[in-house]
Structure 1
């Protein structure tokens, strides 16, 4: 199952196992995936004397599946399917953690997990090509290892398509708790724990409100925010980051090939590097938090800023750098909200495999849209690209590739007017030919929306000067219309939304904020 290089690498990792663990593989005769999983189990057991393997043949429950747990205990971590692709790392971590190797998560968060008293049965539906799924799988697996009240099961939708259809899963990761929908998309361990811990929000709000005044508070944890925080921390001033999640939209980006000096990387890998760099400095990072309001206050004759969070916590700072980024733009047509995650999707890498052999549509003819069409063409039956304008905005090399594919159709001057469905899932869409006003129906199972970005600035509507598109207006130093409040990255009027530009803008805003502090 594993090649020589992977065996050597896994063998090195398994040396960190501190206590014996048991791996049980449930198989079904004549099933190819069962054979793969049994082979994987044999490979794992052959690499460490502390791993014992048990094979159970028969058709009981989801088959094939693998359970992992300490020897002599009932296993609480299950992989239904073959955990390869992006989920191989999830398997390795489960083996190590079940074997007593400590997690790198914050100690207070681990204690919070151990203190959960409710019975929590998590099931997460994934595809092995989904780069967002491992975060969720690894989070619930760790919870199950640490707390006997928690069960964690990964379900590969490609191995159990009938179950996926019956449950109505049309986007991954989809997390279920005790048989009920719990969450969609990437979720961190902190997010999941806080959502199931009834007292977590109030405790966190009190903890944050008790923090000392900052010199600079960065709102946002993407490339712009991380860069800004590093630059201010290097000046020796008290710096904090408050963000919904570290990494921002880059965490949802797969291939990055235009980050100068790095030929190719992936979003999560780049974010991991950013996070490590931030940790090198004395920066107070507060994640899973969303800003609600910014206001000016005066204390002892000095102008300060208050940043109120949605959980009620209030932080005080001398200067603020806003780097809240942007999110995928929606079509805003009837049916879109109703069928979101039920056919309407935004990540072709994650959700594309769920539409294998089915017709799909991509909305948007820019680089993201044409790249999505190219990726989907190798999985789905047919891809129809609908572009609003009369020309495609994607790079010529991408357009040439898409036009060469036999199962890709590109329609220009097409305005999507409605997503249609049967009440449980999307079944197609309606669009208008902008040249003739003629209406058309398109039967598709999946609709991938790739029409650009919307700045995350709604909470600033009555506070700062914004453009009609919601971008924060800034000057050459990143200064906004409010004295002492700076901004950087995709949320601003910076014309080109690129990772490398956001990083530079973050540095500019940080230096602008430092100059402001010196002068005031």
Structure 2
């Protein structure tokens, strides 16, 4: 089950266990689950053999195959329904360490807030093992269950428990349920989950933020551009803050990264984690799970400070600001898209592709992202239809050749998507127009993956004095300066001509150095 290299790494981690833990496995005898049960037993056995602190037993659970982890002698509160490999292997390792008494790196304040939560909270998270965003949610809820005896959490592999996925009509992951009711969709951090359970948390945080002294540089955005800006600013020894609603930004939705110079291959969540860890090496005040709602340029009314109001009601102040809010997936903006989002309309093929195993799906977009999505999905689904608005594909030639060689991939050019259709609960198809003949057509599919580019996250700047392009991008000069003194910008939210991780990082560094130059001259 585990190769020699993985065993060696796991063995090193398990040396950090300080108190005995127990793994309970629940195995299934149904024909379709026997093979997976055998795999799970093998995995649990290999793990237990790596440490004298780990014991193994069989115990029937609500779902099989599954494994639960708990301190020895305690009722398990953390479970994995399925085999936690792929992206979830890290979740398994952390669960073992935390059950064994190894301390979490989460702040002591946040841990205490979790311990103080009142009520019974029973979480279920449906995931796919290829989803790079799911582990963040799984690990957050596992930690909560470890710290608070009134919280339980089970990770559920949607591909293995298809009957539940169908019954609950889950068509996007991660999908979180609390006490049997839908709680949330998509990537969530501890800082985002806790306020939903602690109604007073948001008010306390807003009050605390209003009392924060002004920064020298406040970076708005936690993607590659924001991370680079914060690091370069902090290295100048000036008071630096970083405001991030979602740390990592668009990088968190990127699976394989092969053009980050000096690193032949990495994955988005790994890079985002490295960026966050690097920032924490410096004296940067990280303000997470907060969203900027506007900007007030420096003036006599603001005592020469730039003000950033937040959705929570708080306002942050700074002598200079760097806008690095990035971009998000562009939407089709056709009838039915919003209604069926996460009900068949998806934007992350790596995350949600396994939920459409054996079904027919469509990919809208013929650029690199769209064709890569079609190639990946072809190995999972029955058939993939690619719809491209133009009469030619924009993807690299090597990707086009690969897609066209696959027997279950069809590419339709000159196709204008006009509507997403469904039965009220989930997608059943889509309508499009043949732009050559003008003929309306219908395509019966269970899923639609939208891959048509990005749109900048700059809506909060509408109505401000920050000049934007007709595409909504922040207009900057060669130094990253915007139309307002003391306000700089970097990354995919700006008019920089190429939206690439490495370019965003360079732009973030440029903006920070320019902000520092502005401060010393003013």
TM class, shorter-length: over 0.9
CA displacement, residues 89-111 of structure 1 (integer Å, 9 cap, x when unaligned): 11111111011111111111111
Which position in structure 2 is the counterpart of 1:356?
357
Which position in structure 2 is the counterpart of 1:505?
507
| Secondary structure of the corresponding residue to residue 349 of structure 1 | helix
| Secondary structure of the corresponding residue to residue 47 of structure 1 | coil
Which position in structure 2 is the counterpart of 1:139?
140
Q: In the aligned structure 2, how far is the partner of 1:513 from the partner of 1:215?
A: 9
Alignment of 1:393-404 (within 5 A): 393-404=394-405
Which position in structure 1 is the counterpart of 2:275?
274
| Secondary structure of the corresponding residue to residue 490 of structure 1 | coil
1:232 aligns with 2:233: yes
Alignment of 1:446-485 (within 5 A): 446-463=447-464, 464-485=466-487
| Secondary structure of the corresponding residue to residue 411 of structure 2 | strand
Deviation at 1:300, TM superposition (A): 9.5
Q: In the aligned structure 2, how far is the partner of 1:471 from the partner of 1:299?
A: 28
Kindly indicate whether the alpha-carbon contact (under 8 Å) linking 1:121 and 1:178 is maintained by their aligned counterparts in 2: yes
Structure 1, 13-22 or 435-444: larger mean CA deviation: 13-22
Q: In the aligned structure 1, how far is the partner of 2:277 from the partner of 2:28?
A: 44
Q: State TM-score, norm by structure 2.
A: 0.97
Deviation at 1:9, TM superposition (A): 2.1
CA displacement, residues 465-495 of structure 1 (integer Å, 9 cap, x when unaligned): 1112111111111111122111111001111
Which position in structure 1 is the counterpart of 2:27?
27
Deviation at 1:302, TM superposition (A): 5.1
Gapped runs of 5+ residues in structure 1? none
Q: In the aligned structure 2, how far is the partner of 1:347 from the partner of 1:3?
A: 29
Deviation at 1:195, TM superposition (A): 1.9
Q: In the aligned structure 2, how far is the partner of 1:258 from the partner of 1:2?
A: 29
Q: In the aligned structure 2, how far is the partner of 1:375 from the partner of 1:61?
A: 33
Q: In the aligned structure 2, how far is the partner of 1:45 from the partner of 1:263?
A: 34
Deviation at 1:271, TM superposition (A): 1.4
1:46 aligns with 2:49: yes
Q: In the aligned structure 2, how far is the partner of 1:516 from the partner of 1:282?
A: 21
Deviation at 1:7, TM superposition (A): 2.3
Which position in structure 2 is the counterpart of 1:374?
375
Q: Tell me how large the CA RMSD over aligned residues is.
A: 1.3
Q: In the aligned structure 2, how far is the partner of 1:352 from the partner of 1:301?
A: 49
Which position in structure 2 is the counterpart of 1:489?
491
| Secondary structure of the corresponding residue to residue 153 of structure 1 | strand
Gapped runs of 5+ residues in structure 2? none
Q: In the aligned structure 2, how far is the partner of 1:17 from the partner of 1:408?
A: 48
Q: In the aligned structure 1, how far is the partner of 2:474 from the partner of 2:84?
A: 43
Q: In the aligned structure 2, how far is the partner of 1:357 from the partner of 1:481?
A: 52
Aligned residue pairs, count = 518
Structure 1, 445-454 or 255-264: larger mean CA deviation: 255-264
Q: In the aligned structure 1, how far is the partner of 2:262 from the partner of 2:18?
A: 40
| Secondary structure of the corresponding residue to residue 324 of structure 1 | coil
Structure 1, 43-52 or 173-182: larger mean CA deviation: 43-52
Relative to structure 1, the CA distance from residue 95 to residue 246 in structure 2 (aligned partners, 3 Å threshold; closer, same or farther) is: same
| Secondary structure of the corresponding residue to residue 184 of structure 2 | strand
Q: In the aligned structure 2, how far is the partner of 1:28 from the partner of 1:509?
A: 57
Which position in structure 2 is the counterpart of 1:17?
17
Alignment of 1:294-443 (within 5 A): 294-298=295-299, 303-443=304-444
Kindly indicate whether the alpha-carbon contact (under 8 Å) linking 1:252 and 1:267 is maintained by their aligned counterparts in 2: yes
Alignment of 1:115-134 (within 5 A): 115-134=116-135
Which position in structure 2 is the counterpart of 1:155?
156
Deviation at 1:2, TM superposition (A): 2.1
CA displacement, residues 263-287 of structure 1 (integer Å, 9 cap, x when unaligned): 1111111112211221121111111
Q: In the aligned structure 1, how far is the partner of 2:510 from the partner of 2:490?
A: 8
Q: In the aligned structure 1, how far is the partner of 2:302 from the partner of 2:55?
A: 69
CA displacement, residues 183-221 of structure 1 (integer Å, 9 cap, x when unaligned): 111111221112211111011111111111111111001
1:72 aligns with 2:73: yes
Q: In the aligned structure 1, how far is the partner of 2:179 from the partner of 2:341?
A: 22
2:58 aligned residue (43, 46, 55): 55
Q: In the aligned structure 1, how far is the partner of 2:415 from the partner of 2:300?
A: 56
Kindly indicate whether the alpha-carbon contact (under 8 Å) linking 1:38 and 1:55 is maintained by their aligned counterparts in 2: no
Q: In the aligned structure 2, how far is the partner of 1:56 from the partner of 1:424?
A: 37
